[in-house]
Structure 1
Amino acid sequence: LAGDLADALRSRGLSRAAVLRHCVHNASPALLTIGGLQLAYLLEGVVFVETLFAWPGLGGLLYDALSARDLPVVQGGVLVVAVAFVGVNILVDAAHALIDPRVRSPR
């Protein structure tokens, strides 16, 4: 482990496992946020992957609906993808509040 935090913890005499635990605890909110955003972008990219590999699914349905100009199906598919994106972000925010007590709102 390298970095100012790890060096400071090691200079205080903490073991390598304790330093790793502190570093993971400090990095987990950022990792959770980035991981949640990447998962949401992965859900949005399903249209391209399913079209490219000719897999059946929501992405293929959206592509076929766009090609046929079937607007109600396109609107429904975009709504499903948008709700999935918002749902993933809500779950990430809730998990962030569980991990980091500084994020919780005061009562």
Structure 2
Amino acid sequence: MFHCRAEETTLPSTDKESEGGIKVMCVELVANRFLRKMVRVLVATAIREAAAGVEQDALITLMDATCRRATAPPAPPDGLCLVDVGYDEFKREKCFILD
């Protein structure tokens, strides 16, 4: 994995009940390959760990675990959006989340 970052953001909404917008979690994952359901597992585990208020390096510890049961089940695909596929070297300026 070359790059991994998450940020809560608000998207504009035309729904009258959501006047301030809709809160969403934007996750950037950049790697040279992904396994089947890997992105969904990473997203679900990151959300679970963030909701539990664990240390920032908790995901690194989970990545070293040999038991798959340490991770959360895959997140549903609803709402996940593939933004870009590239075959060039990783360039930080192509990232979706702005600093």
Superposed pair shares fold, TM > 0.5: no
Structure 1 or 2, whichever has the larger Rg, is: 1
TM-score normalised by L of structure 1 = 0.21
What TM-score, normalized to structure 2? 0.23
Name the structure with the higher strand share: 2
Task: Identify, as 1 or 2, the structure richer in helix.
Answer: 1
